[in-house]
Amino acid sequence: MSVSWLLTGEHDHIPSEEVAASLTGGIARDHNGKTSLENYKGDTPGAVPEVDARAGAGPGQVGEHEVVTLRRGDSYIGHKVISEWLFPSAFLRHELRVQPGNLMVLEVVGDSMSPTLETGDRVLVDASHSRPTPDGVYVIDEGDGPLVKRLQTVRRSDPPEVMILSDNPNHKAYNLRLDEIRIIGRVSGRFSRM
C-alpha cells in the first residue's frame, strides 16, 4: 500500500503483484508472509540478492531499508540489496534442488550454530519453504529479527510446535508454537572462508 493510503486512506490500494513487478532491488512479501523473489530485477540477470539483514546464530540484525518510489509516485520500503551472487542454474536446480527465483543470501552472525555456521558465513536461503518440512536449518523470525536455527517438528503436538535447536551445545533448545514464528526460508547452502 502507498504511504499516502496509510496516512490518509486516500488513493487506491495497489495489488502486491504490481508492486513486486515494479521493484528493482526490493523484496516483496505475499499475503501469507512468504518472501516472493521471483520478480527481483537486479543489475545482473539471474543474480541472487544478498539483502542487508544478518541471520543471527544468536541475535539477528536487520540492516538498512530503502524507500523505492514507483512511477505512480507512491513509496514502498524494502530491505536494501547490498550484493548480488551468481550461481550456475544447473548447480542450483540439480545439486541444491532449489529454484533460482526463490533464493536470497544472508550473512550469519553469532555462535549458536557453531561449528555448522560461523560468523561471516553466508547462507543461501530458499524462501519457498514457509513450513518446517523437512526438519533442517531454517531462517526464522520470532519478532526480533532473522535467526538461523535448526528446526525439528514436535510430532503429534496440538497446536503444532517446533523445537528450535542450536548446533552449539552451550545454547539450550526450546519449543515454540508454529504460529509464534515466521519461517523466512530453508537454508540450502553455505559459503565460508577457509
Q: Where are the domains of the chain?
A: 3-191
CATH of domain 3-191: 2.10.109.10
Cβ within 8 Å of residue 26, ≥6 positions away:
66, 68, 76, 78, 79, 81
Read off the amino acid at residue 26: G
pLDDT in tens, 107-157: 999 999 999 999 999 999 998 888 998 999 999 988 888 899 999 999 999
Question: For residue 160, what are the CA distances in angstroms to 55, 141, 175, 182, 185?
Answer: 24, 17, 10, 13, 18
Please determine, for residue 15, whether its predicted confidence score (pLDDT) is greater than 60.
no
CA separation for the pair 68, 80 (Å, rounded): 10
CA separation for the pair 21, 54 (Å, rounded): 25
